[in-house]
Amino acid sequence: MNFFISLIGALLGILLAIGITIFIIYCKIKSAVGATNMKALTNAISNASDYEKEEYSREKNVRGMTKLLEEEILRDFPEFNKDLIFSMCESNLIKILNSLESRNSTKINKDPNLIHLKKKISEQIEDMKSNNITEKYDNIEFYRHAISAYTKKNGKATIQLSTTLSYYYTTNRKDKKSFSNIKKQTRYTSEFIYVYDEAKFNDNQASFSVHCPNCGAPLRNIKTNYCEYCSTYIENINLKAWKMSSYKEDYKY
């Protein structure tokens, strides 16, 4: 009993010492800069915090030239439907964020629309598990999309999208801001690819990566149905369809 009383006394003593130290430091700073400047400094710190919260919750702008780029895409792919691509983007991002929140990539690995992202997301989830990182994305809402870039070469077409969305975000990560009671407004950049000519397509392009579902090795030859490393049969991948190949949150708040 005496031990616990002594322990509590020691803890209270430590807290009191910390409080006194903080007060002394405050008084010294106030004395050095003056009462008026100290008030201004305190207000500046408070305003910086308020600005951070305002920026966190401010609806972001999309970046792109949808009308101009859509005309160019339609010349190459008359069946292209931008609304369908936008809808696919929303669906894929929801699947990805839900997978990160649950730290489970099973559904991603089975989804043919996310075949190019399986390895990246699985590695990200394993990293989260090993570092005990948690993330939550609640009440996801999408606002606007824009086509921000389009290229067509070497047998592959690539469309880049800019997407604004919001969600209540909470995490224990040290490198990300999180206000559990404020809805985060942010922006994502994603890419969709379409292999339109296998003969021109360079199988070893680093930007296009399909991996064996059994051993995880990269499939260098997209024309074969077998993994060259473990001989596992690979089902035909429908290359002539737009599929998401990358995504990233491109706003710091």
CA distance 181 to 79: 43
Average pLDDT (194-223) is 62
Domain ranges for the chain, please list them: 2-55, 63-249
pTM, full prediction: 0.71
| Helix 2-33 with 35-57: angle, nearest 10 deg | 110
Query: pLDDT band at residue 78, thresholds of 50, 70 and 90?
Result: very high
Average pLDDT (92-113) is 94
Q: What is the pLDDT of residue 204?
A: 45
Report which of residues 223 and 24 the model is more confident about: 24
Query: CATH number for the 63-249 domain, one of 1.10.3470, 1.10.1330, 3.30.70, 3.10.450?
Result: 3.10.450
Radius of gyration of the chain (CA): 26
Run of H or E including 78: none
Average pLDDT (224-250) is 74
State yes or no: pLDDT of 236 exceeds 90: no
CA distance 117 to 111: 10
Percent of the chain scoring above 90 in pLDDT: 47
Sign of CA dihedral 29, 31, 32, 36: positive
3-state helix vs strand vs coil in the chain, percent to 5: 40, 25, 35
Average pLDDT (177-191) is 91
Strand ranges (DSSP E) for the chain?
A: 135-153, 156-171, 183-195, 243-249
Average pLDDT (100-112) is 93
- Alpha-helical runs (H) found in 58-148: 66-76, 82-102, 106-109, 118-130
